[in-house]
Amino acid sequence: MGARRPIYQREEEANDGRSDAAEWLGTHRGPSVLGGSQGSTSGSRLSSNGPASSAEVPIATLKVKAASAIPVIRTRVQSWNAGSGAPDSWSGTLKYGDDARERNTIYSTLWHQLEPNNGRFWFQAAAVVTGRGGVKAMESWLSDLAALTPAVPVWPWDLTFIIAGNKFLFPFNLCNFYTLRAHQSVPGFPHFWGRELDRALVVLEQTLVQTFIDSYGWKNPSERADTLSRLSRTFPTSATKKWVRDVLGKRFSSVRPFNFGSLDHRIELGIAIVDHLRAG
């Protein structure tokens, strides 16, 4: 029997064997992070369209969990890259995602393969922000900056920074996808489910983004500050989808402008985007 095809070639298999997923999750997930049984319909259970109660794991707690989870996920990625315990299509899918356009293709395929309360909306958001007008367009922009509107203050190294960050995140996100698809918990977030899982994934990724920002090869502190400032000013107008601009506008304004360099601002925006998708 030949090697399994990478995920991006197997969309037609996305829903195979999924009919009993909800029953499996209800039986095996165990106690909810919000209290009560995951198989119950109690007030703490998260519905497919949002939380049934106002209880939330605090962002500060999620940050601590994310910081502990990242080394575990990194070790898992390294082990899979070495061929130890990797899912069948890991290496092919990871290799296919070598450029921004193909990573968007993969994200656009992955989210369909997860249940609504098991990470689907977070991965859908990843497909949105890496899609048309987003990260996947930046590689072509690098060769034709004249095509950008002068109203967008962007420099080649700004785009290079964003593209490099997107590539840095991809193995971690892909690892989390395979973990969730196997009905296992993302390291650091046992039994997280529904909107709480969405929030945890946002905090986890943005903590990784902060790690990337802090370790990036800046020439000096001024270059870092200038790049993050330009990106912050670009966000309100660069999003292709109107609803993303609307979400940003509801959270930030000229009085309280979005700051790309702020972990808290990125988390707030990320959660708002996923909440919008979850609300349908």
Could you tell me which residues are beta bridge partners of residue 47? Answer: 50
Give me the phi and psi of 37, to 5 degrees please: -85, 140
Residue 196's pLDDT is 97
Residue 132's pLDDT is 52
HEC assignment per residue over 110-172:
HHHHCCHHHHHHHHHHHHHHCCCCCHHHHHHHHCCHHHCCCCCCCCHHHHHHHHHHHHHHHHH
Residue 13's pLDDT is 39
Helix, strand, coil percent content, the chain, rounded in steps of 5: 65, 0, 35
Residue 45's pLDDT is 32
Residue 55's pLDDT is 78
| Per-residue pLDDT tens over the stretch 168-203 | 999 999 999 999 999 999 999 999 999 999 999 999
Residue 122's pLDDT is 96
The token duo for 177 is: 């996808």
Q: CA Rg, the chain, in Å?
A: 19
Residue stretches of the chain with pLDDT short of 70: 1-54, 131-154, 237-240
Residue 234's pLDDT is 81
Residue 157's pLDDT is 82
DSSP states of 26-72 as a string?
Answer: HHHS-B-TTSSBTTS-STTS-BTTB-SSS----HHHHHHHHHHHHHH
